[in-house]
Chain A
Amino acid sequence: MSAGSRRRADLLFQVAALAALVVALTALAALLFDVVSDGAARLNWSFLTNIASRRAEEAGIYHALMGSIWVIALTGAMALPIGVASAVYLEEYGTHSRLARFIEINIANLAAVPSIIYGLLGLGLFVRLMGMGRSVLAGAATLALLALPVVILATREALRTVPGTIREGSYALGASKWQTIWHQVLPMATPGILTGLILALSRAIGETAPLITIGALTYIPFAPDSVWSPFTVLPIQIFNWVSRPQSDFKVNAAAGILVLLGLLLTMNMVAVIVRDRFQRRGRS
Chain B
Amino acid sequence: MTAARLTSLSGVAARGGAAAPADHPVKIDVRGLNFYYGAKRALDGISIRLDANLVTAFIGPSGCGKSTFLRTLNRMNDIIPNTRVEGTVEIDGDNIYGPGVDVVQLRRRVGMVFQKSNPFPKSIFENVAYGLRINGMAKTRAELADRVEESLRAAAIFDEVKDRLNESALALSGGQQQRLCIARALAIRPEILLMDEPASALDPIATQRIEELIYDLKKNYTIVIVTHNMQQAARVSDYTAFFWLGRVVEFDRTDKMFTAPAEKLTEDYVTGRCG
Contact = CB atoms under 8 A, between A and B. Distances in A.
A74 B134 CA distance: 33
Contacts of A281: 121-122, 168
Contacts of A175: 104, 130-131, 134
Interface string A136-178: 0000000000000000000000000001011111111111100
Contacts of A167: 79
25 contacts: A96-B81, A163-B118, A165-B114, A165-B116, A166-B121, A167-B79, A168-B76, A168-B79, A170-B130, A171-B107, A172-B107, A172-B185, A173-B108, A173-B130, A173-B131, A173-B134, A173-B184, A173-B185, A174-B131, A176-B104, A188-B121, A283-B121, A283-B168, A284-B167, A284-B168
Interface string B168-191: 101100000000010011001000
A168 B114 contact: yes
B48 interface: no
Q: Which 7 A-B pairs have the closest CB atoms?
A: A282-B121, A174-B108, A173-B131, A165-B118, A172-B112, A169-B118, A174-B107
B134 A183 contact: yes
A165 B111 CA distance: 15
B168 A179 contact: no
B105 interface: yes
Contacts of A171: 76, 79, 107
Given A168-B114, A283-B168, 20 more contacts: A96-B81, A166-B121, A167-B79, A168-B112, A169-B118, A171-B107, A172-B112, A172-B114, A172-B185, A173-B131, A173-B134, A173-B184, A173-B185, A174-B105, A174-B188, A179-B134, A183-B130, A282-B122, A282-B168, A284-B167
A172 B130 CA distance: 12
A173 B118 contact: no
Contact of B74 (A170, A172, A282, A284): A172
Contacts of B120: 166, 169-170, 184
Contacts of B134: 173-176, 179, 183
B135 interface: yes
Interface string B76-120: 100101000000000000000000000011011001101010111
B121 to A, nearest CB: 3
A170 B188 CA distance: 12
Contacts of B79: 167-168, 171
Q: Identify which of B112, B121, B184 gathers the most chain A CB atoms within 10 Å of its CB.
A: B121
Interface of B: 74, 76, 79, 81, 104-105, 107-108, 111-112, 114, 116, 118-122, 130-131, 134-135, 167-168, 170-171, 181, 184-185, 188
Q: Identify which of A163, A167, A168, A174 gathers the most chain B CB atoms within 10 Å of its CB.
A: A174
Q: Identify which of A171, A172, A183 gathers the most chain B CB atoms within 10 Å of its CB.
A: A172
Contacts of B121: 166, 187-188, 281-283
Nearest to A162: B121
Nearest to A95: B81
A284 to B, nearest CB: 5
Contacts of A174: 104-105, 107-108, 131, 134-135, 188
A232 B144 CA distance: 53
B124 to A, nearest CB: 12
A166 B104 contact: no
A255 B108 CA distance: 62
Nearest to A284: B168
Contacts of A165: 114, 116, 118
A166 B118 contact: yes
Contact of A173 (B122, B168, B188): B188
B76 A283 contact: no
A99 to B, nearest CB: 16
A172 B116 CA distance: 14
Nearest to B82: A96
A101 to B, nearest CB: 14
A283 B170 contact: yes
Nearest to A282: B121
Contacts of B171: 283-284
Contacts of B104: 174-176
Contacts of B107: 171-174
A188 B116 CA distance: 19
A17 B136 CA distance: 58
A167 B111 CA distance: 14
Nearest to B167: A284
